[in-house]
Amino acid sequence: MGETLAAVPLIKQIQARHPELSITITTTSPTGSAEVTRAFGDSVQHCYLPFDLACCVRRFVKQLSPKCCIIMETELWPNLIHYLKQADAQVLLANARLSAKSAASYRKNHKLTLPMLKLLDGIAAQSEQAAERFIELGVSAERVAVCGSLKFDINIDAERVEAAKALRQQWLATDKPVWVAGSVHPGEFAALIQAHQQLLKTHPNALMIMVPRHPEQFDAAAAAIKNAGLALVRRSTGELVLADTQVVLGDTMGELLMFYGAADQAFVGGSLIVHGGHNPLEPAAMGLPVMMGPNYRDFIEISELLQSAGGLTVVDDAATLAAHLIELFANSEAYNQASLAAKEVVAQNRGSLAKQLAVVESMMAIRELDLAE
């Protein structure tokens, strides 16, 4: 879903500049698929990417016969790249990030990964650190450009904002303190529940929206909330959120961005456990002060930018999470400073779209020159 949202503006720019092109978008999740349909309708072809088995990928590439392929972030599949290059397609890795841990894994499995990386015609890296890691792995420096993250160019349309406001009104939560725990994992549920229980002692009408990262975790999250004695409404049931509701479980797909828009503060999960964290830019773009645990290695550059500006706070456990929630709900000046800082970081780092589009245009020009020859 995150990669799809980041790709939408880039694809729309390509469509505007090259209306003659036939574009196929692949996704690997139902939420990503739904976002493609919402954003593009029937103006593109959409399908799921096949498993990276030689027979499947070979047939897929032969059927599409692509001139260019843009791969988002780090979804690198050896057979796909191999057969794309056999079909003489240009292959660009866009919005590319590479953590120190992933780079070490690539080095460990170098017989598989390094030949694959060297087949790429270009890499549009999110940061200087990511670019250096790709070059250290053997990618030619001439093929690597630092373009920033497309996720800073997130475009939250007015329709989503209005839907979020309407949802908060529907929940009778306009005057309540509301916070979101987004993309959370087992191992974090207990800490989030404990933090909310502490918040309720000072703000008895507070509402938490807990959104597990994966659907298979919905029931476990619901059980943990009920076992803690909190009044729960599951979003999927369509039950009314009443004045005494303490937790809404976001057990639906594709609504996290709207939940952020309906809240005042956000915790981004996968970070209190050793997982690597998830993208904090969506709540930041909504103007929410953001909290994360200390394990955010997959979004280290983004998280540190937000943290240094004052838009993100690192919390170690339930107690520090609760204390920060309580502080910002009680101190409007501190809240407004953190909210403004979060939005400004997003605004100041926009511009990746234009840089990545320039790389795409360059790659397409090379392809057209090859075809002309």
Residue 327 designated active-site: no
Q: Which two tokens stand for residue 231?
A: 């009044």
CA-to-CA distance for 288 and 342, rounded, in angstroms? 7
User: Bridge-partner residues for 128, per DSSP?
Assistant: none
CA-to-CA distance for 368 and 179, rounded, in angstroms? 50
CA-to-CA distance for 32 and 38, rounded, in angstroms? 10
How is 246-293 classified by DSSP, letter by letter? -EEE--SSS-HHHHHHT-SEEEESSTTTTS-----HHHHHTT--EEE-
Q: Characterise 231 by phi-psi region: left (phi > 0), alpha (psi -120 to 50), beta (else).
A: beta
Residues 6+ apart with CB under 8 A from 332: none
Q: Which two tokens stand for residue 63?
A: 């059927």
User: Bridge-partner residues for 181, per DSSP?
Assistant: 210, 267
Which amino acid appears at position 356 of this protein?
A: Q
User: Bridge-partner residues for 145, per DSSP?
Assistant: 124
Catalytic residue among 3, 35, 73, 188: 3
Point out the residues that are catalytic: 3
